Structure formats: structure tokens, C-alpha cells
């Protein structure tokens, strides 16, 4: 099971509700694209 930080969970909820309380939609899309490229490079999950 992957544990998602609270901030990310709120961002995902905001995205689904089409709100941007925490970050602008553009920033959310950039973070999503970064995650996809990161997953391709590494299979290990980094726990901070």
C-alpha cells in the first residue's frame, strides 16, 4: 500500500472537484508528469 502525503490527497480531491484551493491546476499537472517519469526510472518508492 502506498501512503500519500496529506497535501497530495487534498490536491487530488481538489482536482476531482475542479477546485484549486491548495495549488494551481498547472502545478498539479506538472507534479503528475514528474511522478510518471520518476516511476519509469525507479520502481522503489521513496519514504521521506
Give the tens place of pLDDT for each residue, 1-48.
556 567 777 777 766 765 545 555 566 566 666 666 665 556 566 665
**For the chain, how many residues are written?**
48
What pLDDT score was predicted for residue 19?
53
- How far apart (Å, rounded) are the C-alpha atoms in residues 16 and 48? 26
Question: Where along the chain do its domains lie?
Answer: 6-34
pLDDT at 12: 74
CA distance 29 to 35: 10
Which three three-digit cell numbers place residue 17? 472537484
Query: What's the whole-model pTM score?
Result: 0.22
According to the model, what pLDDT value does residue 22 have?
52
* pLDDT for the residue 7: 72
Spatial distance between the Cα atoms of 24 and 11, rounded to a whole number of angstroms: 9
What does DSSP assign to residue 47? -
Amino acid at each position: 500500500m502506498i501512503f500519500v502525503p496529506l497535501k497530495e490527497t487534498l490536491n487530488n480531491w481538489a482536482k476531482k472537484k475542479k477546485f484549486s484551493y491548495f495549488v494551481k491546476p498547472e502545478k498539479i499537472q506538472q507534479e503528475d508528469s514528474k511522478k510518471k517519469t520518476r516511476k519509469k526510472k525507479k520502481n522503489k518508492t521513496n519514504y521521506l
